[in-house]
Structures are given as C-alpha cells and as structure tokens.
C-alpha cells in the first residue's frame, strides 16, 4: 500500500468519524460534540434553520428537547470524494424520534450533503445542506426490561470504564 493510499483511507475514516460525531452529539444533546463536527465559520442549512455551529447546536437541542423523549440518527450509505484538503460527502441518515406526548415515533430518512475541509490537520464540515427524503409515523412500543438512555453526559456512553448495572436475570 502506498503512502497516498494510506493517507486516502485515513482521510476517509476521519471524514466518516466527523459525520458520526455530529449524530452522536445530537442524540446526546452534547453541544461540544455537535460543534466539534464543524469548522467555527461553517454554515448548516437545516430546513427552517440556517446558521453556524453554536446556533445549530442550540436550535437542534431545543427542537429535540421540547418534542422528543429520545431520538437516534444513524448514518447508513456514505459516499465521499476527496480532492486535496476539500471533500464532498453525501450521507444517508435514518432517524427515529420518540415523541414526549406519547404520540408515537416519527421515522424518516435525511440526506446530509457536505463540503468538508481539512484545516490544521482536522477534517470538519464547512457547509452542510440537509434534505428530508421521507418521513412517517408509527405507534410507540417500548419493550420491557431495557434501560432508557439519557440526553446528557450522564448517559452510559460517557461512562469510563463502562460498569455493570448489577442487574442479573
């Protein structure tokens, strides 16, 4: 494998990690993690919202916090073209939003179309456009016996090392 091939693979992984970091930050309402996916001067065009990373994090956390008790954003198909320190990526996101009012779950598919730039060795989003491809609703059904995640740093994902809960069956 050549140095160029290795650099390409490392850049691709760093770009995908950046896109995943955004989704993880949104689902945990982690402002710092959301903002870490963007360059400080980035713009996100997200339906009714257009603005920079700090305003995006505030808007997304408020929107999700007011309406939903839990949500997940899952990257599926991902394509990326890299040209030096600029990349263009398209990532499909399947999402589920569990309503606070007990009105069921909204399921949908979004597509993130991103221009990423590598600055000072870091790949981050410089411009994002979000497209909603479809959305539908289904009734809520929560299986018994599973713990609920938290939308803050108290979530198990932040626990180091991860500890058992002490429950056995």
Asked whether residue 91 is assigned to any structural domain, the reply reads yes
Measured in degrees and rounded to the nearest 5, phi and psi for residue 28 equal: -100, 5
Asked whether residue 165 is assigned to any structural domain, the reply reads no
Asked whether residue 152 is assigned to any structural domain, the reply reads no
Average pLDDT, the chain: 95
The yes-or-no verdict on residue 167 having pLDDT over 90 is no
What digits encode the pLDDT tens for the residues 18-46? Answer: 999 999 999 999 999 999 999 999 999 99
Asked whether residue 167 is assigned to any structural domain, the reply reads no
Distance of CA 71 to the CA centre of its chain: 11
The arithmetic mean of pLDDT across residues 137-146, rounded, is 88
Angstrom CA distances, 134 to 20, 27, 50, 77, 96, stand at 21, 20, 21, 16, 12
What digits encode the pLDDT tens for the residues 107-141? Answer: 999 999 999 999 999 999 999 999 999 999 999 88
Asked whether residue 163 is assigned to any structural domain, the reply reads no
Asked whether residue 150 is assigned to any structural domain, the reply reads no
What digits encode the pLDDT tens for the residues 1-20? Answer: 899 999 999 999 999 999 99
The arithmetic mean of pLDDT across residues 61-70, rounded, is 96
CA–CA separation, 166 and 101 (whole Å):
32
Nearest to 70 by CA among 43, 37, 97, 108: 97
- The tally of domains found in the chain comes to 1
Asked whether residue 156 is assigned to any structural domain, the reply reads no
Q: Which domain holds residue 36?
A: 3-140
**pLDDT value, residue 164:** 87
Asked whether residue 84 is assigned to any structural domain, the reply reads yes
CATH number for position 123: 3.10.450.50
């Amino acid at each position: 494998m050549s140095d160029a091939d290795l650099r390409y693979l490392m850049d691709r992984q760093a770009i995908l990690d950046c896109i995943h970091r955004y989704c993880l930050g949104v689902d945990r309402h982690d402002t710092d993690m959301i903002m870490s996916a963007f360059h400080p001067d980035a713009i996100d065009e997200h339906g009714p919202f257009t603005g920079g990373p700090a305003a995006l994090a505030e808007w997304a956390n408020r929107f999700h916090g007011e309406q939903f008790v839990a949500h997940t954003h899952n990257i599926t198909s991902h394509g990326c073209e890299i040209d030096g320190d600029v990349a263009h990526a398209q990532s499909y996101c399947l999402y589920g939003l569990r309503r606070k009012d007990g009105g069921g779950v909204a399921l949908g598919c979004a597509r993130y179309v991103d221009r990423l730039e590598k600055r000072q060795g870091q790949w981050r989003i410089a411009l994002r456009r979000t497209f909603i491809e479809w959305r539908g609703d289904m009734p809520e059904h929560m299986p018994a016996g599973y713990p609920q995640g938290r939308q803050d740093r108290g979530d198990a994902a932040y626990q180091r090392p991860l500890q058992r809960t002490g429950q056995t069956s």
